[in-house]
Amino acid sequence: MTTKVIKNGTIVTADLTYKADVLIENGTIIEIGANLTGDEQLDATGCYIMPGGIDPHTHLEMPFMGTYSTDDFESGTRAALAGGTTMVVDFALPSPGQGLHDALQMWDNKSTRANCDYSFHMAVTWWGEQVFNEMESVIKDRGINTFKHFLAYKGALMVNDDELYASFNRLADLGGIAMVHAENGDVVAELSAKLLAEGNTGPEAHAYSRPTQVEGEATNRAIMIADMAGVPLYVVHTSCEEAHEAIRRAKMQGKRVWGEPLIQHLTLDESEYFNKDWDHAARRVMSPPFRNKQHQDSLWAGLQAGTLSVVATDHCAFSTEQKRYGVGDFTKIPNGTGGLEDRMPMLWTHGVNTGRLTMNEFVAVTSTNIAKILNCYPKKGAVLVGADADLVVWDPEKTKTITASSQQSAIDYNVFEGKEVKGLPRFTLTRGHVAVHDGEIRTQEGSGKFVKREGNTPVNRALSSWKELTAPRPVQRSGIPATGV
């Protein structure tokens, strides 16, 4: 077996920065130290050697709003690697009435083309005995411990509070983690109908139909229901102060709750929807929508304070042609934006280069924190002996202008078009294979492997003591019989 050594670089992890070489054999890190040698050498002079990024929120080739998202597991993971991300976690989505294992079979088929390792979250889009029963084997046999619930998309993916509570209770018993897309779908449906009736049909109405209050309400509700069930809760795409505030408060009360801002919400604002060009605005339609600067500042502050834990993309890329399904009715514009290739360079440029984040915090929020939450650390998210050699050799001086014409994604535009970034991969390694070298793509279609993640019973339960304090128990009164007269 040949060995590979990364020399002359500085290792940056979530908690350490130090100079050392990294020796790799058979896809694994086998030694870290000074003056190492190997059969093949990669020069990291002037670079940082970091755990490859993990994007825990993608929708590749997803059936949604009458079409399929355009990036599939091949183009999506190629884009990921180009930007320094070495693992993605996609959502397996049963259609209402479809079994969980049935849906997973579809995702297994699609993901055979992946260029890097990947895992799945399971979506709970309906509730019934079959879902209740299958949850156990999804966690124990398939190694999928995260279950997402949509509180929006009424009439399609949305679950109601009774279903949410039942599912959360089941997950608490099985050691799973609940996830929520937190927007109040009933209110969004009302606002959308009103806006359309008043003649507001353009993409800017999408933003009006989903004000920050619908997200704040749903986030608070999900946190309270999770607390009653005693299940840990991961809130995807936290985009506003109201939602962040709810998460912040829950954390301070000892509840096990995490928030995930997207790179799009951190760096793009609501003015994008008021662009006179219909295509420009529609291409940026996603849920939740982009917000104003006050909300962006809240998200950055959350990353700095540690009240928000992970930066993701919700990569769900639709072409301009697909976006035009919504001409004349904004509710028919497929919701979603890309970002897989740009998450790491954009966060480095707007986080590390501005002094908002340290390099170690950058590693934490792009890789290590989510590996720990998802239960795949230190196989992923670490530079340690025994860990997978999923690494990015990061050149902090390398620059580029983001353009659709040079991207890996299969769509015809990029929401970050024209933005300058400083800080890019020199090499991206997926289990030891150099998939990207100075922008040259050497991916191997189908080489990505599924990453199993076990459930957490019983150590990862929410820490709130509410359940214990209020669990019904017979009242003991001295001298009075406990039962009846």
Interface residues with ligand DUC (CB under 6 A) are 59, 181, 286-287, 314, 316, 335-336
Based on CB atoms, which residue is closest to Zn ion, 272 or 314?
314
The least distance separating Zn ion from the CB of residue 203, rounded to whole angstroms, comes to 18
Q: Return the residue matching tokens 């050498």.
A: 41
- Taking CB within 5 to 8 Å according to partner kind, which of Zn ion, ligand DUC, none is near residue 336? ligand DUC
Contact track, Zn ion, 357-396, x by CB under 5 A: ----------------------------------------
Candidates 302-310, 376-384, 407-415, 432-440: pick the segment binding Zn ion (CB under 5 A): 432-440
Based on CB atoms, which residue is closest to ligand DUC, 65 or 346?
65
Contact track, Zn ion, 313-342, x by CB under 5 A: -x----------------------------
The least distance separating ligand DUC from the CB of residue 309, rounded to whole angstroms, comes to 19
8 Å CB contact between 317 and 337: yes
8 Å CB contact between 14 and 363: yes
Under the binding rule (CB under 5 A), the answer on residue 121 touching Zn ion is no
Distance, CA of 52 to CA of 48 (rounded, Å): 11
Distance, CA of 43 to CA of 2 (rounded, Å): 17
Q: Give the number of other Cβ atoms within 10 Å of residue 214's Cβ.
A: 25
Binds Zn ion (CB under 5 A): choice among 438, 442, 446, 465: 438
CA-CA-CA-CA torsion sign (164, 183, 341, 8): negative
Question: Which residue has the closest beta carbon to ligand DUC?
Answer: 286
Distance, CA of 77 to CA of 86 (rounded, Å): 8
- Alpha carbons within 13 A on the beta-carbon side of 174: 26
Contact track, Zn ion, 177-206, x by CB under 5 A: ----x-------------------------
Distance, CA of 176 to CA of 172 (rounded, Å): 6
Based on CB atoms, which residue is closest to ligand DUC, 61 or 314?
314
Candidates 60-68, 131-139, 306-314, 390-398: pick the segment binding Zn ion (CB under 5 A): 306-314
Based on CB atoms, which residue is closest to Zn ion, 397 or 438?
438
- Taking CB within 5 to 8 Å according to partner kind, which of Zn ion, ligand DUC, none is near residue 438? Zn ion
The least distance separating ligand DUC from the CB of residue 20, rounded to whole angstroms, comes to 40
Q: Is 90 helix (H, G, I), strand (E, B) or coil?
A: strand
Based on CB atoms, which residue is closest to Zn ion, 167 or 464?
167
DSSP 99-162: -HHHHHHHHHHHGGG-SSEEEEEEE--S-SHHHHHHHHHHHHTT---EEEEESSSTTTTB--HH
8 Å CB contact between 220 and 249: no
Based on CB atoms, which residue is closest to Zn ion, 20 or 262?
262
Based on CB atoms, which residue is closest to Zn ion, 207 or 387?
207
CA-CA-CA-CA torsion sign (326, 329, 332, 335): positive
The least distance separating ligand DUC from the CB of residue 301, rounded to whole angstroms, comes to 24
The least distance separating ligand DUC from the CB of residue 70, rounded to whole angstroms, comes to 13
Q: Is 318 helix (H, G, I), strand (E, B) or coil?
A: coil
The least distance separating ligand DUC from the CB of residue 378, rounded to whole angstroms, comes to 30
332: left (phi over 0), alpha (psi -120 to 50) or beta: alpha
Which residues are CB-neighbours of 325 under 8 A, at least 6 positions away?
Answer: 65, 66, 67, 332, 333, 334
The least distance separating ligand DUC from the CB of residue 288, rounded to whole angstroms, comes to 8
Based on CB atoms, which residue is closest to Zn ion, 121 or 248?
121
- Taking CB within 5 to 8 Å according to partner kind, which of ligand DUC, Zn ion, none is near residue 272? none
- Taking CB within 5 to 8 Å according to partner kind, which of Zn ion, ligand DUC, none is near residue 7? none
Based on CB atoms, which residue is closest to Zn ion, 123 or 359?
123
Q: How many residues bind Zn ion (CB under 5 A)?
A: 3
Based on CB atoms, which residue is closest to ligand DUC, 56 or 455?
56
- Taking CB within 5 to 8 Å according to partner kind, which of ligand DUC, Zn ion, none is near residue 116? none
The least distance separating ligand DUC from the CB of residue 286, rounded to whole angstroms, comes to 3
- Alpha carbons within 13 A on the beta-carbon side of 331: 18
Distance, CA of 52 to CA of 6 (rounded, Å): 14
Distance, CA of 157 to CA of 146 (rounded, Å): 17
Cross-strand pairs, 49: 11, 393
Cross-strand pairs, 422: 399
- Cα 132 from chain centre: 25
Positions in the binding site for Zn ion (CB under 5 A)? 181, 314, 438
